[in-house]
Amino acid sequence: MNHLNQQRIDPKRFEGVIESKNIRLFTLQNAHGATAQIMNHGGKLVSLYVPDAQGMLRDVVIGHDSLEEYLNSEETYFGAICGRYANRIAEGRFALDGKSYTLPVNNGSNCLHGGLRGFNAVAWDAEQLSERSLRLHYLSPDGEEGFPGNLDICVTYTLTDDHELAIEYEAVTDKPTVLNLTHHAYFNLSGNGDTSILDHILQIHAAEYLPTDDTAIPLGKPEPVAGTPMDFTEPTAIGLRINEPTDQLRWARGYDHTYILNKPLGQLGPAAQVTSPQSGIVMTVYTDQPGVQLYTGNWMSGNMHGKHDARYPARAAFCLETQHYPDSPNHPEYPSTRLNPGETFGSTTVYAFSTANQSIPK
């Protein structure tokens, strides 16, 4: 397959040493030429080339050209693994077994994506298992960013010959702790450099979502999406209602909300599907997590240099972050994010790519 007018990433620009660990860019490739490039700093997905409806390969994630640019980026979560607790914990506080824990506050009054130095900012050990698979490992020490327990975590990326990028998480702890992991790829299915995802057609398999306050903390119980701009139960352009004058959209400058998936807890199933009318690329997301966070890149400024000198204004990408609910440690009515010693946390998310009205080579 040919690449659509896009230069390839130079792996040499990702070489460095952080926390005494060698940082590099790892390349996965399937039998049909689709490729994923992942950096072991933050486990960041730097590029993902998949076929469009004409059989050309397009890079469908945005990001940067070098390690240095990632380290200085305005978007610190570009393509990264987020934890220990993805999304927000209100006021950086929670209690577990009667003991109170205080976390760094790095998003207004809340703790976001694990604190000041979450999993997106650490150096992971990396082992390329095969041409199609990469295993990352990190030991998060007891007390890191305020969280209890030594957490031993592995994340495995696999690019299949069916054009699926599977992300498998596994973790154990030696003390009771809370854990919520996600992947924060910023997608634009029209290709890196396209400046808007408002034309993308989105369907989310969720009849309910979590309304939030003006700091993005859930107000409480899920509410129906029916009759609101949050409704993506049928395929709908992302931009169709994004500017409607509701508090939920105004506070977030667009979508930044958790959807409650229509499936049993812990069961792998479809969460969402997105299509670019420009490229014909279709992405279907599968997860065993109870929710998915839709984020429409609302706070990107357009000022930073992206890959190949692209600029990324607001709404130039979307994220579908599979995860548990925000602030779950403070909401006992939500599915539990507790992990105990002797238990193994396991989770899988799959981003599967195909094309509209045309099968792609398998």
Instruction: Give the residue numbers marked as catalytic.
Output: 184, 321
Quote the CA–CA distance of 169 and 159 in Å, as a whole number: 15
Gap between the Cα atoms of 52 and 60, Å rounded:
10
DSSP letter, residue 206: -
- Say how many C-beta atoms besides its own lie within 10 A of residue 3's C-beta: 14
Angle at 342 between CA 336 and CA 348, to 5 degrees: 55
Locus of tokens 């979590």:
210
- CA max distance for the chain: 58
Tokens of 315: 């709404």
CA distance 17 to 142: 24
Nearest CA to 152 out of 166, 168, 169 is that of 169
The strand pairing partners of 36, in sequence order, are 28, 48
Residues 6+ apart with CB under 8 A from 45: 36, 37, 38, 61, 63, 79, 157, 165, 183, 185
Q: Is 1 exposed, middle or buried (0-12, 13-18, 19+ CB in 10 A)?
A: middle
